[in-house]
Amino acid sequence: MTLERDLTDTERLARLDPDELRRLVGSIEYDAAHDPFPVSGWDAVEWVVGNATQAVHFYQSAFGMELVAYSGPTTGNSDHHSYVLRSGAVRFVISGAVDPDSQLADRHRLHGDGVVDIALQVPDVDACIRHARAQGATILDEPHDVTDEYGTVRLAAIATYGDTRHTLVDRSRYSGVYLPGYVERTSSFGGRGDTATRMFEALDHVVGNVELGRMDEWVDFYRRVMGFTNMAEFIGDDIATDYSALMSKVVCNGNHRVKFPLNEPALARKRSQIDEYLDFYRGPGAQHLALATRDILAAVDRMRDQGIEFLPTPDAYYEDPELRARIGAVRVPIEELKSRGVLVDRDEDGYLLQIFTKPVGDRPTVFFELIERHGSAGFGKGNFKALFEAIEREQAARGNF
Ligand SMILES: [Fe+2]
């Protein structure tokens, strides 16, 4: 199976080809012939929020996403609103309860705003579920077809960490805007999401925070159940400050489009940001989503203009002679990075630029990363300490540290 045939519907719509994806997210060519659970790429990230009707405005105005589809009371679904947004190959579904008895209301009461489903496109839903079942995975939805006038989608779902699920989607026989049950919908907000104005092109990785001592179980889950491989490993001192620490391992699918760093808290003198997340989210869940951009400086400027707050980076980070020596030449003067708080990291393959937002909901849980890769397939290991110190200052200001 080649990457070309492997493109997801949103990658084609965003006019991303395999070369562009390699630059943006570090994808590789691979042979799926012996993959027990082939995954083509991301399908959608579904969020449950307290007010989907307003959140969908936020993702249009501040993130430059485009409203493309909708399901709700006017389309025969009286339980909840679901708005589908797109930027490049990134598709979000933002759902919120209409009916007070909706399961979504219960979920929101427990977890607050967060990611309920990290849906993946697969060429053969049934084969994946057969393998997952044989490996002891929890099957939440058995393989089934959903059909409308635009064709048929085959779906199934398996459980992952916490209350998070992976819906598996084969939309190769479907030409509708999202799924049966949704109608095409645009917004009077308008003018967003086109190539000229969009701020990010693709989803790079989604980080999961799991319980203390259970990271290796979840790494094993992705390897055994979903055929993922270990990509990188950071443990202990690599990402410890004087006060808090975490351990992190990264697993990815065969073509490296889908990357899941998994974090667990490590014992330290104070509560880590992972502990804070687990407390406020009431369990494991998606911690951050990294959005791949072609121009992180322009994206940061526009998002900040629209009211997005990023984590500040101490000036000392940029003035550190060790850092300057380590990162070498990057595409812009370091002052351009410093004025925006953009972090830089380098490894043997190249470098990357990255920045993190503050949590986007009311609880100190889920947030975003912008990432601009230049050859590096890493995750900013060299920045973890600088970043965590910045996060700890925020945690202290909230009184949770
Ligand atoms: Fe990240």
pLDDT tens figures, 312-325:
888 878 877 777 77
**How far is the centre of ligand 1, averaged over its atoms, from the C-alpha of 74 (Å)?**
38
**How far is the centre of ligand 1, averaged over its atoms, from the C-alpha of 288 (Å)?**
7
How many residues in total does the chain contain? 401
What pLDDT, in 10s, does the model give residues 170-207?
999 999 999 999 999 999 886 555 556 789 999 999 99
**How far is the centre of ligand 1, averaged over its atoms, from the C-alpha of 102 (Å)?**
32
Residue 249 domain flag: yes
**How far is the centre of ligand 1, averaged over its atoms, from the C-alpha of 224 (Å)?**
23
Give the torsion through C-alpha atoms of 81, 84, 90, 96, to 10 deg: -10
Domain span holding position 82? 9-184
Rg value, the chain, Cα: 20
**How far is the centre of ligand 1, averaged over its atoms, from the C-alpha of 349 (Å)?**
18
387 and 253 part of one domain: yes
81 and 121 part of one domain: yes
Q: Computed from CA positions of residues 41, 115, 48, 201, in that sequence, does the dihedral angle turn out positive or negative?
A: negative
245 and 143 part of one domain: no
The pLDDT of residue 1: 43
The pLDDT of residue 271: 79
Last residue of a domain, one of 184, 213, 231: 184
Residue positions in the annotated binding site for Fe cation?
205, 288, 369
**How far is the centre of ligand 1, averaged over its atoms, from the C-alpha of 49 (Å)?**
22
Looking up tokens 């190539």 gives: 195
Q: What is the spatial distance between Cα 143 and Cα 145, in angstroms, rounded to a whole number?
A: 7
- Beta bridge mates, 252: 229, 259
Where the chain has pLDDT below 50, the residues are 1-4
Query: How crowded is residue 230: how many other Cβ atoms within 10 Å of its Cβ?
Result: 12
Residue 122 domain flag: yes
What's the 3-state SS for the chain?
A: CCCCCCCCHHHHHCCCCHHHHHHHHCCCCCCHHHCCCCCCEEEEEEEECCCHHHHHHHHHHCCCCEEEEEECHHHCCCCEEEEEEEECCEEEEEEEECCCCCHHHHHHHHHCCEEEEEEEECCCHHHHHHHHHHCCCCEEEEEEEEEECCEEEEEEEEECCCCCEEEEEEEEEECCCCCCCCEECCCCCCCCCCCCCCCCCEEEEEEEECCCCCHHHHHHHHHHHHCCEEEEEECHHHHECCCCEEEEEEEECCCCCCEEEEEEEECCCCCCHHHHHHHHHCCCEEEEEEEECCCHHHHHHHHHHCCCCECCCCHHHHHCHHHHHHHCCCCCCHHHHHHHCCEEEEECCEEEEEEEECCCCCCCCCEEEEEEEEECCCCCHHHHHHHHHHHHHHHHHHCCC
226 and 178 part of one domain: no
210, 218 Cβ separation under 8 angstroms: yes
346 and 228 part of one domain: yes
pTM to 2 decimal places:
0.94
Tokens of 318: 């940029």
What pLDDT, in 10s, does the model give residues 261-312?
999 988 776 778 899 999 999 999 999 999 999 999 999 999 999 999 999 8
228 and 279 part of one domain: yes
**How far is the centre of ligand 1, averaged over its atoms, from the C-alpha of 6 (Å)?**
24
**How far is the centre of ligand 1, averaged over its atoms, from the C-alpha of 260 (Å)?**
9
**How far is the centre of ligand 1, averaged over its atoms, from the C-alpha of 293 (Å)?**
13
**How far is the centre of ligand 1, averaged over its atoms, from the C-alpha of 290 (Å)?**
5
365 and 233 part of one domain: yes
Last residue of a domain, one of 184, 219, 243: 184
The pLDDT of residue 224: 97
Looking up tokens 């992180």 gives: 296
**How far is the centre of ligand 1, averaged over its atoms, from the C-alpha of 33 (Å)?**
30
The pLDDT of residue 2: 46
**How far is the centre of ligand 1, averaged over its atoms, from the C-alpha of 291 (Å)?**
9
Residue 192 domain flag: no
**How far is the centre of ligand 1, averaged over its atoms, from the C-alpha of 282 (Å)?**
21
Tell me, what CATH number does 260's domain have? 3.10.180.10
123 and 237 part of one domain: no
The pLDDT of residue 395: 79
Structural domain count of the chain: 2
Residue positions in the annotated binding site?
205, 288, 369
178 and 238 part of one domain: no
Residue 191 domain flag: no
103 and 206 part of one domain: no
**How far is the centre of ligand 1, averaged over its atoms, from the C-alpha of 198 (Å)?**
20
Burial of 51 (0-12, 13-18, 19+ CB in 10 A): middle
Residue 376 domain flag: yes
Q: Measuring CA to CA, which residue among 288, 274, 209, 278 is closest to residue 243?
A: 274
Last residue of a domain, one of 184, 218, 237: 184
Q: What is the spatial distance between Cα 354 and Cα 330, in angstroms, rounded to a whole number?
A: 13
Q: What is the spatial distance between Cα 100 and Cα 275, in angstroms, rounded to a whole number?
A: 31
The pLDDT of residue 3: 45
Helices 215-226 and 125-134: crossing angle in degrees, nearest 10, is 130
Residue 317 domain flag: yes
Number of Cα atoms under 13 Å in the Cβ half of residue 60 = 20
**How far is the centre of ligand 1, averaged over its atoms, from the C-alpha of 222 (Å)?**
18
215 and 161 part of one domain: no
Q: What is the spatial distance between Cα 207 and Cα 286, in angstroms, rounded to a whole number?
A: 6
**How far is the centre of ligand 1, averaged over its atoms, from the C-alpha of 385 (Å)?**
13
65 and 123 part of one domain: yes
Residue 106 domain flag: yes
Q: What is the spatial distance between Cα 299 and Cα 296, in angstroms, rounded to a whole number?
A: 5
371, 347 Cβ separation under 8 angstroms: no
Residue 78 domain flag: yes
